[in-house]
Amino acid sequence: MSIIYTCRHCGQEIGALDQDVVDTTMLGIDKLSIGETKEMIHFKQNGDVAIQVICESCENALEDHPHYHELDFFIQ
């Protein structure tokens, strides 16, 4: 299976990992609440896992516009 990281803001694919076993600790998602995990992680029918994160360019844009942080959830 693959773990695919996609930017939640612009939809750009940031990276992908091939994993036999998905370890939620490795992904850092064990620290999230159940609700957050459901929003961020999508299990595809082919077994791949899509994780929505934020890409560098969107992160930079948000630093220029910090008020965006009030509108959405971000990984620390």
Between 9 and 51, CB nearer to Zn ion: 9
Smaller CB separation from Zn ion, 43 or 74: 74
Nearest CA-CA partner of 50 in 58, 40, 60: 40
| Range 14-22, long-range pairs (CB < 8 A, 24+ positions) | 14/53, 14/55, 22/49
Which residue, 22 or 55, has its beta carbon nearer to Zn ion? Answer: 55
- The residues binding Zn ion (CB under 5 A) are 7, 9-10, 55, 58
- Least Å distance, CB 12 to Zn ion, is 5
